[in-house]
Amino acid sequence: MIPVFPGTVDAAGRRATLGVMGGGQLGRMFVHAAQRLGYFTAVLDPDAQSPAGLVSHHHVRTGYDDPAGLAQLTELCQAITTEFENVPAQALQTLAQTRPVAPGAAMVGIAQDRIEEKAHFAACADISGVTCAPYAVIETPGQLQAVLDERADLLPGILKTARLGYDGKGQVRVRTAEELAAAWAELGSAACVLEKMLPLSAECSVLVARGWDGQVVSFAPQRNVHVAGILAVTHAYEGALPPVLADRAREAAVAVAQHLGYVGVLCVEFFVVDDGTEHGGLVVNEMAPRPHNSGHYTIDACDASQFDLQVHAMAGLPLPQPRQHSAAIMLNLLGDVWFDADGQQRQPDWQTVLSLPGAHLHLYGKVQARVGRKMGHLNITGLDVATVKNVARRAADVLGLPGLDAI
């Protein structure tokens, strides 16, 4: 790929412009990172009030598979990325006929389908040293019956839809054969995977950036705490994970990116299994072909954020190895924070929160708060872990956030 340098103007008078499919908060933070470097930006999203569209130079307000909208985006941009994995892979394939697209349609397609995703994890297990949890594919009544007859070892387990499941959606915990059959019917007999439920001691993730030339850089692994299937707290500091485990996770994530020939920012999520060893076993869970909620701390704790690397990777610029200069904890802010115990809407106590040392508030510009909706995040940074934890607890208490006992 020929690099797209910021601040340049082509023969037709067009400024260097980077495009993003999707107008949510990840697109918004990508736009901020691109604009800081001097790029113009274009967002394709049907919502006139989309967080990214509101701050971009151009907002193409069409559906993700609208031919006219896709043509307009390619006319505006020199390179294009995506902010979420449920953009139609075919749309990315169409864009790639005339513009560099990172990540490509094939990579996004794998992440859109848990069946394909797990097959790829298994295929690169020899080089990554890590595989996924035992699982079975259920797409037909015959496959369901085969699991009931032959794979009792997968129970208790978690039945997950192969497509369109995120933040705990499209997942049902099942303990018995009867519950499995009922759950599959409840999910509309859609294509699913049944994963064996493992004794988990922690969850972690690794962010990797890979360029068109195969250069790879990565952030140190971060430990994550989920509440009701949604990320609540990310711990990002030395000692958040045992060093042996952190090294294995980082190496495995890089191996996954290399095996796929991936271009862009990739987040690989892992389970830490309580297997009786000092550091526990590592099992790969899933991947996100984009920046990730668990990497938001990088905006304030590192000299290059995950969004900076997204810009560099897609534009063909050199990838700097990011350096973390501060211990950090990220607190996810859902719409619940805007409601009291009686369900009445309120304004969060930003006065107190913003008076805390090392507190960095990031709100996403969403017009309406709803329970469970991601509205923003709060990064807490500091010189030492003890201080960061103390401030994070105070902030979580003021805002009434879940996961306080995990900080």
Dihedral of CA atoms 359, 364, 369, 371 in degrees, nearest 10, equals -70
Query: 117 a known binding residue?
Result: no
* Residue 135 assigned as binding residue: no
285 is in an annotated binding site: yes
Q: Is 170 annotated as a binding residue?
A: yes
374 labelled ligand-binding: no
Q: Is 238 annotated as a binding residue?
A: no
198 is in an annotated binding site: yes
Asked if residue 83 belongs to a known ligand binding site, the reply is no
For 38, 258, 396, the CA distances from 316, given in Å and listed in that order, are 15, 17, 39
Determine the length of the chain: 407
167 annotated as belonging to a binding site for a ligand: yes
**Sole residue written with tokens 């307000």:** 61
At residue 159, what are phi and psi to the nearest 5 degrees?
-90, 125
Beta strand 327-334 with 230-236: parallel, antiparallel or unpaired?
antiparallel
The answer to whether 139 is annotated as binding is: no
Q: Which amino acid is at 181?
A: A
Q: Is 394 annotated as a binding residue?
A: no
Detail the residues annotated as belonging to a binding site for ATP. Answer: 114, 160, 165-171, 195-198, 203, 226, 285-286
Binding residues: 114, 160, 165-171, 195-198, 203, 226, 285-286
